[in-house]
Structures are given as C-alpha cells and as structure tokens.
Chains A and B, each alone.
Chain A
C-alpha cells in the first residue's frame, strides 16, 4: 500500500517514512496537491509553529484537498503540529485558523502546574497514555495499547477538543490532563510521535495503516483493549 506523507517543509520526514517502510508499506513523500487528491491513506506530520504549518499547506494548495479527503473518508493521521492543525484555531503567535476537521482549539501549555509551581515547557517526555473514561481504550488507533504504555511527547501547545468524544487518549502533565490523541471518524491525530515511540508507537502506526482496509474506522466492541 502507498502511504502519502505530506511534505510542507517542516518535518523530520525521513523518520516517519522509515517507520512506514518498517511496517511493510511504501511511503510517498509529496508536496503536490495532485498526489494528495488521489491518496488512499495520508499522514500529515509536522514540527514547528502552527502559522508556518498552515502557511505551508496554503502555499502548496493542500488545504482544500486535505479537507476533501477527510470528507471522502480517506484515513488521515496527523502527528504533533499536524494534529494541532486538524482543529479550528490556535493561539500560537496570534490567532490562526486551522483545517477545522475536529472542533476545538489549540492553546499554550500553562507555565504553572495545578499547584502553582513552575513547570517545564515544552513538555518533553515519555509519558503514559490513558483512556479518557473507563479502564480501556475504545479507539481503533489504540488497539493493543495498555493504559500506561509510554510514548514520546515534545510540544509547547496542546489541543482542547470541544467535545470529549473526540479525545481518544490522554496523558497527564503538571497535574492536568493533556489530550494525547484525538479522532473524528476517519481523521486521527496524535500529539506524541508514534514514529519516535519505540514498539508502542510502531504498534499505533500499524493500527492506523490497517484502518484503510477496514470497512469502518469507528470503534466497535472488537476494538476493546486486548489486555483488559
């Protein structure tokens, strides 16, 4: 299967493409709207600032094709800044509009923890993933992940989904919940880097890559935590 990886000039694309290849798929790194328009499955990576990311997508004419693919049911996985761009808008260096594929906004991680102590920002850490409610994950993306399995985070901003149902995993930082993964239908986002998170991350990426062959990507009872 060819996995279309969007290149808008801001990412470590080699790592994500190597991870895709490691899982037995063929990465296609592209910045062409024509390639995006015919994609079967899309990864939107990203590091850096929100405005630069959205400007990059706009300049390349990729905003409309991405929205179109999301509407057409093509699986999209957006990583780190990519996930932030799925939302409506961000506060990073002014207010900027995002792709608007999941309702909610992007805000800076507070400088203080819940007790008013200084906390380090960016949040750079391996941190445990947990379900939003209940004792196991309900997302197809998190199949096989056990609560507490750790993945690598590096971010200064965090997403705030408008509705809880759009958060598929959380982590804890400074005594608060941080949205670690979000999804809406065929559109998935991870704040952490699955391509940098060892075996757990590769497993999550494999779940995403297998979603293209599934009839439905919404969660079903079969998606319950297999270790539960």
Chain B
C-alpha cells in the first residue's frame, strides 16, 4: 500500500510546484541564442531540442519567434505543428502575434497559450480580446524589462525583441495587463538575458508582489540556485535557455538540485 500524509500534502500545496520551462528562441526555423536578445548564434533544429527536453522531463516548452514582430509575421506554425507529434507537455508560443486571428491560428496549430508583447504595447485591447476569445489561461503577457539607468529599482518595458522603449513602467504595465485579463506573465530581464549570471531578483520581487497570476521569469538563469531563488521570490516558473541549449545542465539534474534547494518541483 502507498502511504502518505495528508497533512503534509496540504502543507506543501500552500506553495505550488515550480515549473521549469525550456525557452526556444527561433529565427528562420533555427533555434538561436544570443545575449541581451541580440548577437544570435544558430544552434540547430528547435524540435530536436524540444523533444530532447520533453524526454528529460521538462514541464513546458516556450517557442519565441524573435524576429517576427520586426517583419510582422510569425513563422512558428510549422514548427509547433511538428512539435505536437512528440511533445506532450504544454506549448506556449510568442513573437509577432498581432490579433485574435493570429492567436486562433497558433492554437489551431497546437499551441496551448500565446505570449504577446509588441502588439499589446501598441494596443492594450488585444489582451482582453484574446482573454475573452480563448480564456485568460491562454493569454500570457510578455514583458521585456530593462532596468532604468542609475541602478534604480525601476524598469521600463521594451518591445520588438528588446530593441524599442515603450515608455511604460514594467511593474505598472504588468498590473495593467492582469487587470485586462492576462492569465500569466512572462517576465524577461533584457539586462540579464543570455549571461547565465543570475536573474534580476529585484525585478522578480517587484512584479510578483503586485500581481496574483502566475509569473514565468526569464533571463540570466545560471543554474538550480537561480531557479530556487526565483521560486522563493514568488515566481511560478522559470524559463531557461542557454544552460540547456549549451548542455551545461540537463533538465533532470537541474530539477533535482532545485528540489534539494528546498523548492517543490516535479521530478
């Protein structure tokens, strides 16, 4: 007989399991990786990486078409459509989605949710339109945040893959997005992105404390300590790229080490 203690289950459920997400930035059908979202290096077929991470026990896959908003198109359709043959965990897709019809098409091709940044900055109504059409759980608001100069605890939201300023305060923008119906936030620190030297924990604290929806944090993860610290700062999920793509860590050992740092995670 399996024995377990319900009191312990109840206690553990006060802090839901953290999710580990593999983030695959895609350009012209290649997985790419850069630093500060720039200086991209080609890594290979994104689905080879995605299938490998699925087999290792990843909790979710995030595909970002990182040049889509520059060219006003999203070319991920075929990639997602292929991914759903082998990958049976949630798939989120972002980059260049401009309207409800673009979202419908991404979902038709196998995405479970969409991450939207640029289109929301240009017209915030897309957040409520997508949430109403497909449910809030489908509408992930993507925020690319850069710390304002002078080491202040304020961040500005950027768009077009971290290139353009919006003039919006990132924390306020997160709060606004949730009030419009965003069911999740993908929070990327452009300053830390690609460096593998730790996340912007001040940013994570600031956003997680003002919204009640799950926050996925991204940018700078160097290992299990960063995943654990993000979770303890209130993040629901950590999206990891470089350390997985460059095979500096594998999913299983990252999760085991995160667990041993005191964070509940699916092993």
User: Using a CB–CB distance below 8 Å, which chain A residues touch chain B?
Assistant: 10-15, 18-19, 22, 47-49, 81, 111, 113-115, 117-128, 130, 135-136, 146-148, 150, 152, 154-156, 171-176, 193, 195-199, 201-202, 225, 227-228
Contacts and interface: CB of A to CB of B under 8 A. Distances in A.
Query: Which of under 10, 10 to 19, 20 to 34, or 35 or more describes the interface residues of B?
Result: 35 or more
- The 5 tightest CB contacts between A and B, nearest first, are A172-B13, A48-B135, A14-B110, A126-B266, A125-B16
Contacts of B236: 120, 124-125
A193 B4 CA distance: 24
Contacts of A111: 212
A172 B12 contact: yes
Given A128-B9, A136-B2, A198-B57, A47 B137 contact: yes
B1 A136 contact: yes
Interface string B1-23: 11110000111111011010000
* Secondary structure of the B contact surface, majority rule: loop
B111 interface: yes
Nearest to B209: A118
A216 to B, nearest CB: 25
B212 A120 contact: yes
A113 B14 CA distance: 7
Contacts of B109: 14
B89 interface: yes
A152 B89 contact: yes
B88 A47 contact: no
6 contacts: A18-B85, A120-B212, A124-B236, A125-B236, A146-B2, A197-B88
Contacts, number: 138
Contacts of A113: 14
A228 B2 contact: yes
B161 interface: no
B10 A198 contact: no
A87 B136 CA distance: 22
B138 interface: yes
Contacts of B133: 48
Contacts of A202: 88
B112 A15 contact: yes
B54 interface: yes
B90 A196 contact: yes
Nearest to B60: A152
Contacts of B266: 126, 150
Contact of A47 (B9, B134, B237): B134
Best-buried of A48, A126, A227 by chain B (most CB within 10 Å) = A126
B50 to A, nearest CB: 13
Contacts of B198: none
A122 B214 contact: yes
Contacts of A125: 16-17, 19, 214, 236
Given A12-B107, A14-B108, A47-B135, A123 B16 contact: yes
A83 B17 CA distance: 23
B84 interface: yes
B2 A225 contact: yes
Interface string B150-188: 000000000000000000000000000000000110000
Contacts of B237: 124
B17 A127 contact: yes
